[in-house]
A and B are shown apart, each in its own frame.
Chain A
Amino acid sequence: MINKKNSLIIFIVLIVGILFTSSVMAQETVELEMWHAWTGQDAFASEVLLPKIEEFQENNPNIKLKIQVIPNDSYRTKLRTQAAGGQIPDIMQTYPGSEVQPLVEAGLLMDLEGIIDYWTDDLIPRDSLSAYTFNDKVYAIPAKVNYTHFAFYNKDMLAEAGYTEWPETYEEFKVMGDALKENDIVPISLGNKAKWVLQSIYISTIGDRLTGIDYLEDVLAGERKFTDPAFIKALDVIKELADEGYFNKDANSLNDMEMRQAFYQKRAAMFFGGAWDIGGVIETAKEEDMNVGIATFPQIEGEVAPKALSGVTGSAFSIRSGLSEAQKEAAIKFLKFFYSEETYVDLLRTGSFVPAKVDLPADISPQFQDVINLVNEHQIGPVYDAVLPINLIQTINNGLQSLTTGEMTSEELAQQMQDNL
């Protein structure tokens, strides 16, 4: 009897318990649709950002994130197209400047002014949010600062050609390029099929240095022109690199992954990439026993801002406007958890630069310490595709490809950009 009674009580308790929890869950489970572009190949995503999302889901069983991962190249197109149809997810990665602007202007995103103090009080300077600030309102919190220009070079291959040091000036760089070519080594690995590489990585920094870091804003304001000799000179540098055969011949049919592979397989002495490449290069160099140096483009005669390095904040999440109160609360909870001081410190450890003011962890790798020192010698300048409107990005992306194939001159491209302004 007692046994029977006990088991009955246990049974009732269980039933009540199940009913209770399920009713609680039914009441409070919030579903949020989330899109991001971190496929997990890069250290910053696989070691920090993706685990962060998982941790959040474990800690908050009543908030259900329905996640879609879309690779970077198609992410922007997909988001733009869906946004045009008014169908965007609740939380989404947004790209800086002119990319996110139309979404903001269409009123699709929630401004974060109500909660921005959580970050701006002492973690992130308001200046660092400028790429996501429109009409003095912030629409996304970035996780990283993406410098879009670094030179990664194989020290051994340079040494074979007689160079133990990265050249100081562009003139020396060209002499080194010729020496490498004489050794039957492709000086620079380039993969420009997707067309953004020459723009984001090359012309952004080279242009910023020759024209000054306020140039693009001045042009957009109508105070200067794309036909400015300084800008044409920047384009000429790209053209010269192509005409002199410093790039691999099939540059226009390779993507950026194949570009890195060629470097890792020692088919080229260097490649230019962004901060997103640093972790991978350091890692691969270790595995393959490669002797890799990291630098930035050598000094060109006539530079206005010789230390400019193009960079922009990224890996930012925005929240859709028009969420229900419960969804909004959940989304804000996620943002606060995701962009915490701890995240920024972890990101630093994986070799990423962050917009937050956090102390460098003591256990940071010496290679990354070197890169930080390198960046500290520079000043941040604009990235072209984070500042220019979309039709000009298209013009310059296509135009740079035409420069390398000899179908266009620098003057013609500059004129075309001015015309399309």
Chain B
Amino acid sequence: MEHIYKHKKKLIYLGILPAFLLYLGFVIIPIFISARYSLVEWNGFSPPSFVGLENYAEMFGNNIFWRSLKNNMVVVLASVLGQVPIGFLLALLVNQKIKGRHFFRTIIFMPVVISAVIISLVWSMVYNYNFGLLNNILSFVGLESWIQNWLSDPDIAMFSVAAVIIWQFVGLYFIIFLAALQTVPDEILEAAKIDGAQGWKRTLYITIPLVKDSILAAVVLCISGSLKTFALIYVMTNGGPSHATEVMAIHMYDNTFNGMKFGYGSAVSIFIVIFGIVLVTIVRNLFAKFGD
């Protein structure tokens, strides 16, 4: 295969070009523009004034920023430790030749294609203190003491929100893993079976190593997606109560567009980018180290 492509490099570049230009214009260049804005103080109207790294200093001195970082880490952990394993288990199940697996495949993937705003509104109702589904079920089965103020209690609001984030994106990783599992050749599995590897052993020693790359890709997607998380939380709690569910993207939005601090907001954005790159690099190295 390789030598066929070798002579057609020009064509390949030509094919990549449109997508690359769009990516350049809407992702790469804006990052640099943001980096420049992060060094100025600017309210959007008056001329920007250069302040050096002051925005970053303000950010690191801001308790609310640290709180948003902590909340964001809750989302990252919930996603990596929630979405990926659950998605993988579901994919293993549906990959069996069970009855109705097409139905399950659609159902599990469904939340991914529903608009985040709709999901947020539905879950707001599920979580509603007075007439929400969750509290109603709890009182119905006699667990009144478990009834919570899911979105209004600052101590648990973040976890309530994280649960919805897991719920929404499990389907995405499920599909990625399902596709990966289907590439695992039957012959290898059969060979393993003959060698006496059954059930869990086969999954652990044969299947997982074979789909390792997909797992890495899923974890990287998961981390970057979690760092960008915005819409669900914005609609469900607006970052409240009292910053309890404020993640970095909401902190950035609030300061930029409600507080008209474009410089500070850009500094937070740049931090999100750098933080994301660092996290992903660490994960890749971990995989490289322990993967083999």
Q: Are B152 and A253 in contact (CB under 8 A)?
A: yes
Q: Which residue of A lies closest to B154 (CB)?
A: A405
- Which 8 residue pairs across A and B have the least CB separation, nearest first? A84-B44, A252-B241, A402-B242, A253-B151, A106-B45, A250-B129, A250-B152, A253-B152
> Interface 1/0s, chain A 243-285, versus B by CB < 8 A?
0000011111100000000100001000000000000000000
Neighbouring B residues of A102 by C-beta, 8 Å: 43-45, 260
Stretch at the interface among A38-46, A75-83, A121-129: A75-83
A77-B257, A81-B257, A193-B238 known; A253-B46 Cβ under 8 A: no
Contact A106–B46 (Cβ < 8 Å): yes
Question: Contact flags (1/0) for B227-241 with A, using CB distance below 8 Å?
Answer: 000000000111011
Q: Cα distance A106–B44 when bound, in Å?
A: 9
Contact partner of B45 (CB less than 8 A), chosen from A84, A401, A405, is A84
Q: Which residues on the A side are within 8 Å of B238 (C-beta)?
A: 193-195
CB distance from A407 to the nearest CB of B (A): 5
Chain A residues near B254 (CB-CB < 8 A): 394
B257, A404: Cβ atoms under 8 Å? no
Chain B residues within 8 Å of A394, by CB: 254, 258-259
Partner of B124, one of A106, A253, A390, A391: A253
Q: Mark A229-249, 1 if CB is under 8 A from B, else 0.
A: 000000000000000000011
Q: Which chain A residues border B44 with CB–CB below 8 Å?
A: 80-81, 83-84, 102
A267→B124 CA distance, assembly (Å)? 18
In angstroms, Cα B257 to Cα A194, docked, is: 15
B151 contacts A250, C-beta separation under 8 Å: yes
Q: B128, A398: Cβ atoms under 8 Å?
A: no
CB pair B240–A249 under 8 Å, yes or no, is no
In the assembled complex, which residues on chain A have CB atoms less than 8 Å from the CB atom of B174? none
| A interface residues, how many (CB within 8 angstroms) | 31
Chain B interface, >50% SS class: loop
Asked if B149 and A249 make an inter-chain contact with CB atoms under 8 angstroms apart, the answer reads yes
Residues of A within 8 A of B240 (CB): 193, 195, 252-253, 398, 401
The reply to whether B241 and A405 contact each other, CB–CB distance below 8 Å, is: yes
Q: Is the Cβ of A80 less than 8 Å from the Cβ of B237?
A: no
For B244, what are the chain A residues with a Cβ–Cβ distance below 8 Å? 405
**Distance between A77 CB and nearest chain B CB, rounded to angstroms:** 5
Query: Does A80 contact B260, Cβ atoms closer than 8 Å?
Result: yes
A103 at the interface (CB under 8 A from B): yes
- CB <8 Å contact, B241 and A83: no
Given A248-B130, A253-B236: 19 more A-B contacts, CB < 8 Å: A77-B257, A81-B44, A83-B45, A102-B43, A102-B45, A103-B45, A106-B45, A194-B238, A195-B238, A250-B128, A252-B237, A253-B129, A253-B149, A253-B157, A253-B240, A394-B259, A401-B240, A404-B241, A405-B154
The listed residue with most A CB atoms (<10 A of its CB), out of B242, B258, B259, is: B242
Min CB distance, A80 to chain B, in Å?
Answer: 6
Contact among B46, B129, B150, B242 for A105, CB-based, below 8 A = B46
Taking a contact as CB atoms under 8 Å apart, the answer to whether B243 and A398 are in contact is yes
Q: Would A401 and B241 count as touching, CB distance under 8 A?
A: yes
List the A side residues contacting B173 at CB < 8 Å: none
Q: Are A401 and B242 in contact (CB under 8 A)?
A: yes
23 cross-chain CB contacts under 8 A: A80-B44, A84-B43, A84-B260, A84-B262, A102-B260, A108-B45, A195-B238, A250-B151, A252-B151, A252-B152, A252-B240, A253-B124, A253-B151, A253-B237, A390-B258, A391-B259, A391-B261, A394-B258, A398-B242, A401-B241, A402-B241, A402-B242, A407-B154
The docked-state distance in angstroms from the alpha carbon of A208 to that of B147 is 39
Q: How far is the CA of A105 from the CA of B150 in the complex (A)?
A: 44
User: With A and B bound together, what is the CA distance between A404 and B244 in angstroms?
Assistant: 13
Give chain A residues whose Cβ lies under 8 Å from the Cβ of B243.
398, 402
